[in-house]
């Protein structure tokens, strides 16, 4: 996983301030699996489990969770548009997307839109928990297979996913 330290406040071991997490996923089985994985860590508290975009945005506005973990593929709005709307809430909620599949270009565009974590559904429960803690601590995380694909794209093209940056 790629992590970038942004010197955000630490939630590493504080029992007083658990990391509040909103899990947005329409599919009950996927949502239940995500929640089950997260609640195994005493530092993480799942505060809401909305099943659509409107409830997700409403939950973020009302609850100001530290992190939102979103099944971006099942939501009606495209990921970047959803991230723009979340940014407009001005809650400081950091976002992790769980795509079913992705291209290096999609990873680049999504991270550029402000998403803090991009971890595929193939991640283990431990990787998801680690990602939530890292993102809550101000880091940016890209799951291993996605990271490899992104680096391969950079090496092959000599620039970052068609952005023109070298």
Rounded to whole angstroms, the Cα distance separating 10 from 27 reads 32
Residue bearing the bigger pLDDT, 121 or 114: 114
Tens of pLDDT, residues 126-162: 999 999 999 999 999 998 877 887 788 778 876 555 5
Give residue limits of the domains in the chain: 2-6+13-157
When the pLDDT of each residue in the chain is averaged and rounded to a whole number, the result is 82
Q: What CATH number belongs to 2-6+13-157?
A: 3.40.50.2300
Q: What are phi and psi of 2, to 5 degrees?
A: -95, 130
Asked if 69 and 42 count as a contact pair (C-beta separation under 8 A), the reply is no
Q: What are phi and psi of 68, to 5 degrees?
A: -120, 125
The model's pTM is 0.82
In the chain, the percentage of residues whose pLDDT exceeds 90 is 47
């Amino acid at each position: 996983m790629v992590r970038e330290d942004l010197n955000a406040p630490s939630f590493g071991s504080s029992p007083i301030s658990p990391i509040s997490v909103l899990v947005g996923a329409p599919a009950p089985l996927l949502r239940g699996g995500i929640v089950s994985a997260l609640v195994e860590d005493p530092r993480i508290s799942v505060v809401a489990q909305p099943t659509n975009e409107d409830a997700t945005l409403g939950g973020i506005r009302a609850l100001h969770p530290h992190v939102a973990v979103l099944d971006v593929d099942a939501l009606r709005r495209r990921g970047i548009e959803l991230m723009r709307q979340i940014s407009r809430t001005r809650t400081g909620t950091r976002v992790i997307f769980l795509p079913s599949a992705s291209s290096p270009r999609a990873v680049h565009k999504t991270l550029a839109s402000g998403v803090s974590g991009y971890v595929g559904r193939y991640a283990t429960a431990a990787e998801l928990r680690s990602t939530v803690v890292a993102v809550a601590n101000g880091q940016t995380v890209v799951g291993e297979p996605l990271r490899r694909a992104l680096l391969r794209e950079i090496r092959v093209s000599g620039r970052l996913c068609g952005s023109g940056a070298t």
